[in-house]
Amino acid sequence: MTTQVGFESLTEQEKYQAFLERLDRGEKIEVDDWMPDDYRQALIRLIAMHGISEIMGALPEKEWVPKAPTLHRKMAIMAKVQDEMGHGQLLLRVAEDLMAYYGKDRDDIYQDLFSGRLKFHNVFHMTAPTWADAGVIAWLVDGAAIVTQKSLLDTSYGPYGRVLQRICAEEVFHMQHGESIILELAEGTEAQRQALQEAVNRWWPALLMFFGPPEGNQLTKHQEKNLRYKIRTKTNEGLRQEFLDKYVPRIWALGLTVPDETIHYDEKQQKWIYQQPDWDEFRAIVNNNGPKSQERLRLRKSVFENAGWVRDILAVRTLATG
């Protein structure tokens, strides 16, 4: 109590300095702790986008639930879709706790999604026309997600890091599920191998875009702040290089090709050299102009509106029970 009273007597600048010192000591920030407004805003932006992307990310694979080639595959992809929706709900709860400070809740997150103010991840605007695409999503897209999410396990915001512990563990199962599909197709008929190669070709630009544009020699103010606040610990390009380290050799090991004749590992620079994707296309996609953006937003909005009666009942029950 004495410590709290002492903290409250500090000026805003002194509180800010004490906050930075906590970060530098490696302490975790909790939802009831004092935090600067731009730290709270950055967390809400990141975690709400992450949570909504988990939910929107279930939609491309959901399309394959009735069409999976065997009952075993059907059950596995159903379980994965269920997990992804659960990840989304966990993350939205973390964002919701931060937003309560502004008198906002989960409905506001969905309204921001429908209005276009809240973006969802570029990969989930894309089409998944074949079973091989479902495999590539689970293997390479979830593989990319693991690279990103593992880098966030040591984030300075405690509730986010704890939720990510569970999510990362389940994403490993998802990646293994995808790897199983990929291996089956790679060892299958010529038509199956061809379908797999076409799916890798189709998804490659989106996978490069997954981590965001490279920083070059200059970070944006937003990126600098996330790194200073220890919300993130790695840059977009650093994460992309980790992904290429891990997955390019595996793709080649299957006898598949990467649709980029220039890609190679430069020993001198200790990094992968690759052909940049079209970053103008990336910006168009994340602004809801991708091949499936509007269709998936309409579906998500329809589900949200049709489930309104459930939220109404739960709200009444919460009021009745206190």
* Helices 71-99 and 37-62, axial angle in degrees (round to 10): 160
pLDDT at 54: 95
The stretch 61-79 carries a mean pLDDT of: 93
The stretch 37-47 carries a mean pLDDT of: 97
The stretch 135-153 carries a mean pLDDT of: 95
Give the torsion through C-alpha atoms of 289, 65, 166, 158, to 10 deg. Answer: 30
**Any idea what DSSP says for residue 271?**
E
Nearby residues of 203 by Cβ (< 8 Å), 6 or more positions away: 123, 126, 133, 136, 137, 140, 141
**pTM confidence score:** 0.91
Work out the mean pLDDT of the chain and round it to a whole number: 94
Q: Give the SS3 label for residue 274.
A: coil
Residue 2 in this model has a pLDDT that exceeds 50? no
Residue 87's H or E segment, with its range, is helix 71-99
